[in-house]
Structures are given as C-alpha cells and as structure tokens.
Structure 1
Amino acid sequence: MQWRNLGERDVYSNQWFTIRLADVELPDGRHLDHYLLRQRPVALATIVDETDRVLLLWRHRFITDTWGWELAAGVVDPGETIEDAARREMVEETGWRPGELRHLATVEPSNGFSDATHHIYWSPDGEYLGPPVDDFESDRVEWVPLKDVPDMVARGEVKSANAVAGLLMLHRLRGL
C-alpha cells in the first residue's frame, strides 16, 4: 500500500530544517494534509579503543529534559562529505580525532515525520588533540566499556535512537 505525495509547500524554513505541508493521496483515493520535516543529513562517530571501550558524551537534552549517553553528532555542512562531518564533529565535541572511519549504519530515526538520515561511523583508533572546542555540547566525555552497552540501553542510559542503533551494532560487531 503506497501513499503518493502530490506536492509540498514550505511552512517554515531555517538553516537546519524545513517544515513542509504535503498533499498526500491514500491508496483509496482520499487526501490528507501531512506535515513533514526536511533535514540535512546527520553524521555521527565514535572511537573504540584497544580495550573495547567506546568514547561517549553524557549530555542533557532540554527538549525532553533527559540525560543520556550519546555519540558525537551534527549536521553535514553544505559541500562537506558525510565522513568529513563525522570527523569534524568528533573533534569539536570530544577533542579526539578519529583515525580511519568505518561506516556502521545509516538510519532514519523518524521516517514517519522526517526525511532525516543519520550516518553512523566508528574508528578503531584516534588521537587526543585537547579539550573539546564545543564544550557546551556535553557535561562530560568518557570511555565506556562496550560490553556494558546493552545493559545501559536497557536501563535507559542511552536514549537517542541513533546512539542505540550504532552502539548495539558495534557491540555485536566486536563480538561482545
């Protein structure tokens, strides 16, 4: 059963996203107005060290008023590759520059409402450059044992859908 988008118009737009109103035709011929969020791609990254610890950020999200562990993440700037954005976000938010980035997954965290795609990367090594430039992004940056991730997710300590997906995939990939 496929819905058809017969056209969209902007409702609001800024540098990060556009809210649009679509005229959607349902399979039975009925029409409905459907709001959607058009967004630039997001790049996420982390490093896994030689002892299978993963670099995470502990941060507060004011929208949901919750705390949780997350991966360094941000929107891809115009003209920037997704890998370059992932590397830039790691440096800005953690102070660590990842080595070779390996693609882990691409997820659509809210595809009933948004066209956002989140591209998740990891690196088996990195170099510490100094304190994070964007030190307002998190309360702290820590190396967390990857083996603890499933329990952390179960306890609600990792809430972000992209972090849950990426960390659980890393846990499986590393055979823990």
Structure 2
Amino acid sequence: MGKQWTVHGERALHDTPWVRLRSLDVEQPDGTRTDYHVVRLRDIAVTTAVDDQQHVLMMWRHRFVTDTWAWELPMGLVADGESPADAAARGLEEGTGWRPETMRELIYAQPAAGITDSQHFVFRADKARRIGEPTERNESDRLEWIPLADIPAMIARREIIII
C-alpha cells in the first residue's frame, strides 16, 4: 500500500434528500492538512435490458442540468436498505413498464471518486416482460428497443450518454 489521505473530521454544509455537501478536515500524504469539500450522493443502479433479437431498451430524455437530449439506460437511486440489483430492477419497471426476470452485474464504477462517494452499478437483464405503462411519468419522452450493434456508433456520436 502507498501513502493515503487521513480524514480527521467531517461537518455538514448542506443537506437535501438528494445531495449532501460535506467539509472534511483531511491530512494529505505529504502532511499538509486542509479543508476538502465532498459531495455525498446516493448510489445509482442501471439496467441494460436486452431482448432475444439483441435490442437494448433505451429511454430518450432531456437532462435540464446540461440542457441535452440523449438516449439513456433506465436507472434509479438505491434506497436505504435496498440492494443495487433490486434498485436497478425497480428503476427499469418504474421508468419503462418492463420487469426483469434475470439480472446479472456488468459494471461497477466510482465516477468522480475525488469529489463524490456515489457508486454506480450496471446490470444486464436478458429476460424482461412488459407489465404495463411506466409509473414514473417524468423519466423519458419515449422508449425504444435499439439494436445492440448500433450502440457503439451512437455513443461515438454522443446520442447515448454513459453514466
């Protein structure tokens, strides 16, 4: 193991149900002690639903924070006491009306680990069945099953935004 930072204390600067901004009293590996700001966010669980024809269920939506339209995979925040797999299944069902039968973890990531503690879990559902309309009405403008073979080019054109 190498040198690591030491946290001597933490205090709340701002709290909402979505975001917690913290000030940490840290000591860097060179001995320098400083105030460091961290954003504490809920973990995110994502589902890649793939049908028998190798199409992926995607959601077309607008993200007002960045003012962009793009295709996204269904996702949800992991609730207290909920497993990431259960959150991913719930996010798929609420956002699309499709219920996964099988789930397997594909990717685990800690994006922006230098400023946030949010973990991202991506699952694949090879079997899903339509159970009705989405219950979360503000998640997407439309849903579409997109051929898996088209996905890399769509990512390159920034038509699909990766978590």
Q: Same fold (TM over 0.5)?
A: yes
Uncovered stretches (5+) of structure 2, i.e. residues with no partner: none
1:20 is displaced (CA, Å) by: 0.3
Q: Secondary structure at the match of 2:152?
A: helix
Structure 2 counterpart of 1:119: 121
Correspondence 1:86-101 to 2 at 5 A: 86-101=88-103
Aligned partner of 2:59 among 43, 57, 60: 57
Deviations 1:16-55 (A, max 9, x none): 2311001121222212221111122211112101111000
Correspondence 1:10-29 to 2 at 5 A: 10-29=12-31
Aligned partner of 1:66 among 65, 68, 77: 68
1:149 is displaced (CA, Å) by: 1.2
Uncovered stretches (5+) of structure 1, i.e. residues with no partner: 163-176
Q: Secondary structure at the match of 1:54?
A: strand
Contact 1:40 1:116 in 2 (8 A): yes
Aligned partner of 2:132 among 105, 130, 133: 130
Q: Which amino acid aligns with 2:80?
A: P
Cα distance in 2 between the residues matched to 1:34 and 1:158: 33
Deviations 1:104-156 (A, max 9, x none): 11111221110000111111111101221112111111101111111111111
Cα distance in 2 between the residues matched to 1:46 and 1:95: 14
Q: Runs ≥4 in structure 1, deviation > 4 angstroms?
A: none
Structure 2 counterpart of 1:107: 109
Structure 1 counterpart of 2:154: 152
Deviations 1:49-86 (A, max 9, x none): 11110001111111111111111111111222221111
Aligned partner of 2:42 among 40, 50, 54: 40
* 2:32 is the counterpart of 1:30: yes
Q: Percent identity?
A: 43
Contact 1:46 1:98 in 2 (8 A): no
Stretch deviating more after TM superposition (52-61 or 4-13)? 4-13
Q: How many residues align?
A: 161
Aligned partner of 1:142 among 144, 153, 161: 144
Cα distance in 2 between the residues matched to 1:27 and 1:46: 40
Cα distance in 2 between the residues matched to 1:133 and 1:70: 17
* CA RMSD of superposed structures (Å): 1.3
1:13 is displaced (CA, Å) by: 1.1
Structure 1 counterpart of 2:84: 82
Cα distance in 1 between the residues matched to 2:17 and 2:94: 20
